[in-house]
Amino acid sequence: MLSRRELLKSSFMLSTAGLLVPKALLAKVDPALLGTAVKELPEGTLEEQILEALPGKKPLIKKTFRPPNYETPVEYFNEVFTPNNAFFVRYHLSNIPEVDARTWKLTISGDAVEKPMELTLEDLKTKFEQVEVAAVCLCSGNRRGLMKPHVPGIQWGYGAMGNARWKGVRLKDLLNRAGLKANALEVVVDGADTGVAAGTPDFIKSIPVWKALDENTIIAYEMNGEPLPHWNGFPARLVVPGWTATYWIKHITSIQVVSKPYDGFWMKTAYRIPLNKFPVVQRFLSQETAVNTPITEIMVNSLITNLKDGQTFRLGQLIEVKGIAWDGGYIIKKVEVSTDGGKTWQEAELGKDYGRYSWRQWFYRFKPAKKGTYTIMAKATNSIGQTQTFELIWNPAGYHHNVVHTINIKVV
Amino acid sequence: MLRVLTAIATLTLVAYAGEESIKLKEGEGKALVEANCISCHSLDYIQMNSPFLDKKGWEASVNKMIKVFGAPIKQEDVPKIVEYLTKYYGKKE
């Protein structure tokens, strides 16, 4: 099962990052790396999380070792595209094989496929049109740690997300090559990672056929111009722009087109949101019940990235507020900034547009007229009128936190 | 050679990239919790999800591990595990 190389690498990790490191030397997470999340995360999270580097990655905020869950420090979000080696890592299952690209195969099958196929990485790169899309990859539970009351799960702060240029082939082109039957309903996707206990449900997700046929939905083998890092799905992963990362299956191995709703645990029970609580346009109707529905689109959201909570400025100094805004692909229309705790709002200047699924940078500059504390807030609105909330829309699994971000600064 | 490699693989499963540094709080039931939880995930999952779950919350989590994720935990051990988690990692009143 495990390759020799993998074993050698694992034992190497063991001696470098494991047993030989005294506990006192483990890097505590500098609160600045967490942004304002430091004020809201559970105490236990703040105590246990450390700054730790996975092989090939920069030190990230380790939430859990196994399965590996590592958050990107907020400072990286000052860049439009999140560097691959700082991109967050999220796994549900801890058997994560290091896939050999030379022997890797992607199978396309299912009861609603005309001609089942098997493709190599070379096939993907040579037999289909190559496309690239800039898109935010955002964990459904990003900011879960900020839920009040807290809910169990990975206690993410702001950094279970990243923005990248994903290159690969359209899922639509693969499916058309295989041929869909008229009764095709969902496309079921599985990756190489598995659980440890025999009874652990494999992490398998489905998307509606219409979303699979969207020209932006791709099987990506490159991220920001480089092969996908192991921890982000090497050699290929599903990219579903506009939808949360739960569907972006890493180390993809199989695609099945089926005529009935897929009823595995990760669809039927997990990753569900209560009905009618969130403004959702793209619904996954074949999976919807009378009380809940699978999470789909990313909610409109924004983050202040350059200021630190409590940061001090001199009176007379020009203050720049910088951040990012994103949504499920409806285009960010405006970002408003308040410097007085929400009493008045001014429009920020939007940065370069990298496409509807990328996040967009924004800037706002102001010169405070007097000394004191300034409460800075940012609020994004998209072109279909959706905007962020001031009051948390609490839900039991802790998804879709898009409460307006607030930072206090001092002018002295 | 194969045996050596298997030994490394087994060890790796328990000691994934530095997780030996995790120390749960001393108390009755700690060994039982460690023995049962560590086969599928690192123990920082417990620390991270604290202290906000009450007894019912921890009970639900342990039962989810058994019923949903197939954790091979003996039914008679469940109350002791829940007791430890509630006492040392439970919601503060």
Are residues B9 and A7, on separate chains, in Cβ contact within 8 Å? yes
Q: Block means of pLDDT (10 residues each) for chain A, length 412 residues?
A: 38 38 65 91 96 96 98 98 98 97 98 98 98 98 98 98 98 98 98 95 98 98 98 98 98 98 98 97 98 98 97 97 98 98 98 98 97 98 98 98 98 98
Does domain A301-411 sit in CATH 3.40.640.10? no
Contact with chain A for residue B63, Cβ under 8 A: no
Chain B hits for A98, Cβ within 8 Å: none
- C-alpha distances out from residue A47 to A26, A147, A322, Å: 12, 18, 29
Phi/psi of residue B63, nearest 5 degrees = -65, -35
Rg for chain B (alpha carbons), in Å? Answer: 15
**DSSP letter at A162?**
E
- The rounded mean pLDDT for chain B is 87
| A45:B48 CB<8 A | yes
Nearest CB among A7, A63, A150 relative to B52 is that of A150
Kindly state whether B91 is in contact with chain A, defined as any CB-CB distance less than 8 angstroms: no
Show the tokens assigned to A97. Answer: 């094989």
Distance to chain A for B66, nearest Cα, Å: 9
The C-alpha atoms of residue B81 and residue B78 are separated, in whole angstroms, by 5
Q: For the domain A105-294, what is the CATH code?
A: 3.90.420.10
- Per the structure block, which two tokens stand in for B5? 């490699």
What residues are paired with A411 via a beta bridge? Answer: A313, A372
Burial of residue A115 (CB within 10 Å: 0-12, 13-18, 19+) is exposed
CB-based contact A149 B44, cutoff 8 Å: no
Q: How many CB pairs under 8 A join A and B?
A: 120
Other CB atoms within a 10 A radius of the CB of residue A141 amount to 25
C-beta atoms of A63 and B16 within 8 A: no
User: Please, where are the H alpha helices in chain B?
Assistant: 2-14, 30-37, 44-48, 55-67, 78-89
Residue with tokens 């499963």: B13
**pTM of the model as a whole:** 0.92
Find out whether A30 and A46 touch, Cβ atoms under 8 Å.
no
pLDDT score of A28: 86
CA distance A54 to chain B (A): 8
Whether B39 and A49 lie within 8 Å, measured CB to CB: no
Tokens of A196: 């440890």
Please give the single-letter amino acid code of residue A325.
A
pLDDT of residue A32: 86
Task: Check if B4 contacts A (Cβ < 8 Å).
Answer: no
pLDDT tens digits for A355-398?
A: 999 999 999 999 999 999 999 999 999 999 999 999 999 999 99
CATH number of B2-89: 1.10.760.10
Say what the pLDDT of residue B2 is.
Answer: 43
Across the interface, of A2, A42, A62, the residue whose CB is closest to B52 is A42
Q: So where are chain A's domains?
A: 4-90, 105-294, 301-411
Instruction: Check A14 against B15: CB less than 8 A apart.
Output: yes
Both tokens assigned to A171: 């899922």
- Residues A68, B16: C-beta atoms closer than 8 Å: yes
For A298-336, the pLDDT digits (tens) are 999 999 999 999 999 999 999 999 999 999 999 999 999
User: What ipTM goes with this model?
Assistant: 0.92
List the strands of the sheet with A332-338, edge to edge.
A312-313, A405-411, A372-382, A332-338, A346-347
